[in-house]
Structures are given as C-alpha cells and as structure tokens.
C-alpha cells in the first residue's frame, strides 16, 4: 500500500504532535496536559504508520495511550489538583531553562544540517505486509537477551511501584 498525500499528513501529524507538546508544558491543569500528551502520542502513532512501522504504532497506542496515560490520569485524580492549579506553575530558573533548551534545539538543527549528507541516499524498502513477523524474528532472535532484561525491568518496576504507593506494608 502506498501512502497517500504524504506531505499533507506529515505536516498535519507532526504539527499536531508539536502543538500537543507545547500544550503539555504550558497548561496549568495536569488533566489538560495529559489530554494534550495523548494527542501527541496518537499523532506520533500516525507518523510511525507513515514510516512503515505499524507494529510500533500499535504498541504506541496500546501501551502509551491506553496504558501509561490511564495511569497518569489515575494519579492526577488522586492528588489534589485544585490547590496545585492556584500555585505558581514555573520554577525560578525558568528563563535559564528555556535558554538552555533553545540552545540545545539550535545545536540539533545545526548537527542535522551538517550531517544530512552522511545519511544513506536511498531509503531501505521495509516490507509493511510482514512488519510484525520481522520484528518478532529480531526480538526473539538477536535481541532475546535485551527482551528478557526488559521483562525483568518491568517486574522490578511493578514491585517498586506497589511498595511505594502502598499505605502500609
């Protein structure tokens, strides 16, 4: 399947993602931030589809938008936002932070400008039809060990989260 109107969708989706990002860091209300983050994540899932990565897009939707964000919303509801909303939103070093981040952004763009010539000229044709199968082969073959470590990491995270969030153990 050939993607249609690539240019249009790229600008639409990346625009949505960046707009979401801006909203995440500017909203007073964490729930609005979370909503904006969900928009960013879904737009990114769309970008992944355009990059011939349907499996990553699916994982992004299930895990990020469906799992992690629900966790975020859950926690936001547990903490008292009304009080938080009335407080000062930015810390004292906000100017320094923005300047540093902007410098970082400029650095990125400069590197890309310089480095673009190093990229391979032709794009690897990734088979979209068998994307999942190929990822599976890599994940359970070459990256088996990393996969196991990731599962261990998740186990540790589960235990850690339960231990920390529990009232009395």
Segment 102 to 121, residues that bind other proteins, using CB under 8 A = 102, 104-105, 108-109, 112, 116, 119-120
Kindly identify the residues of this chain, within the stretch 139-158, that bind other proteins according to CB under 8 A: 139, 143, 146, 150, 153-154, 156-158
Interface with other proteins (CB under 8 A), residue total 109
In the numeric block, which tokens belong to residue 69?
Answer: 């964000």
12 binds other proteins (CB under 8 A): no
Kindly identify the residues of this chain, within the stretch 62-101, that bind other proteins according to CB under 8 A: 62-80, 84, 87-94, 96-98, 100-101
Contact of 131 with 54, CB cutoff 8 Å: yes
**Per-position DSSP letters for 28-71, written without gaps between them:** SSHHHHHHHHHHHHHHHHHHHHHTT-HHHHHHIIIIIIIIIHHH
In the bound complex, what is the minimum distance in angstroms from residue 60's beta carbon to other proteins? Answer: 7
What's the CA gap between 117 and 71, in Å, rounded? Answer: 42
In the numeric block, which tokens belong to residue 125?
Answer: 């044709």
For the chain, how far is it from start to end, CA to CA, in angstroms?
Answer: 54
Kindly identify the residues of this chain, within the stretch 39-58, that bind other proteins according to CB under 8 A: 40-41, 44, 47-48, 51-58
Kindly identify the residues of this chain, within the stretch 22-41, that bind other proteins according to CB under 8 A: 22, 24-25, 27, 29-35, 37-38, 40-41
């Amino acid at each position: 399947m050939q993607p249609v109107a690539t240019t249009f969708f790229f600008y639409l989706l990346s625009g949505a993602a960046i707009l979401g990002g801006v909203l995440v860091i500017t909203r007073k209300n964490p729930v609005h931030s979370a909503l904006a983050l969900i928009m960013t994540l879904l737009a990114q899932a769309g970008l992944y589809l355009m990059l011939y990565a349907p499996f990553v897009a699916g994982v992004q939707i299930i895990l990020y938008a469906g799992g992690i964000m629900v966790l975020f919303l859950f926690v936001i509801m547990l903490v008292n936002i009304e009080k938080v909303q009335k407080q000062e939103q930015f810390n004292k070093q906000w100017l320094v932070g923005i300047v540093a981040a902007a410098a970082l952004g400029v650095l990125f763009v400069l590197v890309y400008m310089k480095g673009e010539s190093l990229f391979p000229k032709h794009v690897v044709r990734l088979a979209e039809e068998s994307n999942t199968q190929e990822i599976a082969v890599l994940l359970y073959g070459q990256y088996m060990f990393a996969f196991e470590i990731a599962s261990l990491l998740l186990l540790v995270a589960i235990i850690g989260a339960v231990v920390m969030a529990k009232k009395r153990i």
